[in-house]
Amino acid sequence: MAFLREAEVVERRELSEGINRPLKVRLRQGAVEAHAVFRTVDVKVPRKEAHGRVYLDFHDNYLHECAAYEMSRLLGLD
Protein backbone atom coordinates (compact mmCIF):
# COMPACT_ATOMS: atom_id res chain seq x y z
CA MET A 1 0.00 0.00 0.00
CA ALA A 2 2.87 2.36 0.77
CA PHE A 3 4.31 1.72 -2.70
CA LEU A 4 1.01 2.66 -4.35
CA ARG A 5 0.80 5.86 -2.28
CA GLU A 6 4.40 6.97 -2.66
CA ALA A 7 5.73 5.69 -6.00
CA GLU A 8 6.25 8.07 -8.91
CA VAL A 9 3.93 7.69 -11.91
CA VAL A 10 6.31 7.34 -14.88
CA GLU A 11 3.79 6.39 -17.57
CA ARG A 12 0.02 6.50 -18.02
CA ARG A 13 -2.41 5.59 -20.76
CA GLU A 14 -6.15 5.16 -21.08
CA LEU A 15 -7.30 1.56 -21.39
CA SER A 16 -9.61 0.79 -24.29
CA GLU A 17 -11.49 -1.83 -22.26
CA GLY A 18 -13.94 -1.01 -19.53
CA ILE A 19 -16.95 1.25 -19.58
CA ASN A 20 -15.41 3.95 -17.39
CA ARG A 21 -12.03 4.34 -19.10
CA PRO A 22 -9.55 3.51 -16.35
CA LEU A 23 -5.88 4.43 -16.69
CA LYS A 24 -3.03 1.95 -16.78
CA VAL A 25 -0.09 3.46 -14.94
CA ARG A 26 3.51 2.41 -14.48
CA LEU A 27 4.88 3.25 -11.07
CA ARG A 28 8.50 3.47 -9.96
CA GLN A 29 10.11 3.76 -6.57
CA GLY A 30 13.83 3.18 -6.49
CA ALA A 31 14.62 0.03 -8.50
CA VAL A 32 11.04 -1.30 -8.23
CA GLU A 33 8.53 -0.79 -11.04
CA ALA A 34 4.95 -2.03 -11.22
CA HIS A 35 1.85 -1.58 -13.34
CA ALA A 36 -1.48 -0.61 -11.80
CA VAL A 37 -4.99 0.33 -12.91
CA PHE A 38 -6.18 3.71 -11.71
CA ARG A 39 -9.89 4.46 -11.58
CA THR A 40 -11.57 7.71 -10.65
CA VAL A 41 -15.14 6.72 -11.46
CA ASP A 42 -18.02 7.81 -9.25
CA VAL A 43 -21.30 7.18 -11.09
CA LYS A 44 -24.78 6.64 -9.71
CA VAL A 45 -27.72 6.34 -12.11
CA PRO A 46 -31.20 4.84 -11.71
CA ARG A 47 -30.80 2.65 -14.83
CA LYS A 48 -27.81 1.60 -16.93
CA GLU A 49 -27.61 -0.64 -19.96
CA ALA A 50 -24.25 -2.26 -20.71
CA HIS A 51 -23.20 -5.40 -22.56
CA GLY A 52 -26.80 -6.44 -23.23
CA ARG A 53 -27.82 -6.18 -19.57
CA VAL A 54 -29.92 -3.71 -17.62
CA TYR A 55 -28.76 -2.58 -14.18
CA LEU A 56 -31.19 -0.82 -11.85
CA ASP A 57 -29.90 1.61 -9.21
CA PHE A 58 -26.42 1.33 -10.75
CA HIS A 59 -23.56 2.67 -8.63
CA ASP A 60 -19.90 2.38 -9.56
CA ASN A 61 -17.21 3.98 -7.45
CA TYR A 62 -13.43 3.62 -7.26
CA LEU A 63 -13.78 2.97 -3.51
CA HIS A 64 -15.30 -0.43 -4.33
CA GLU A 65 -11.84 -1.47 -5.56
CA CYS A 66 -10.27 -0.50 -2.22
CA ALA A 67 -12.94 -2.41 -0.30
CA ALA A 68 -12.47 -5.53 -2.45
CA TYR A 69 -8.72 -5.42 -1.89
CA GLU A 70 -9.08 -5.10 1.87
CA MET A 71 -11.62 -7.93 1.94
CA SER A 72 -9.28 -10.21 -0.04
CA ARG A 73 -6.52 -9.49 2.49
CA LEU A 74 -8.81 -10.29 5.42
CA LEU A 75 -9.84 -13.55 3.78
CA GLY A 76 -6.22 -14.50 3.02
CA LEU A 77 -6.77 -14.65 -0.75
CA ASP A 78 -3.30 -13.27 -1.50
- pLDDT per residue as tens digits for the range 46-55: 999 988 999 9
The residues spanned by each domain of the chain are 1-39, 41-78
Cα 60–chain centre separation:
11
The H-or-E segment that residue 6 falls in is: helix 2-6
- Could you tell me the pLDDT band of residue 61, with boundaries at 50, 70 and 90? very high
HSE, CB side, 13 Å, CA atoms: give it for residue 12: 8
pLDDT greater than 90 at residue 1: no
Q: Is the pTM of this model over 0.85?
A: no
Q: Are 25 and 40 in contact (CB under 8 A)?
A: no
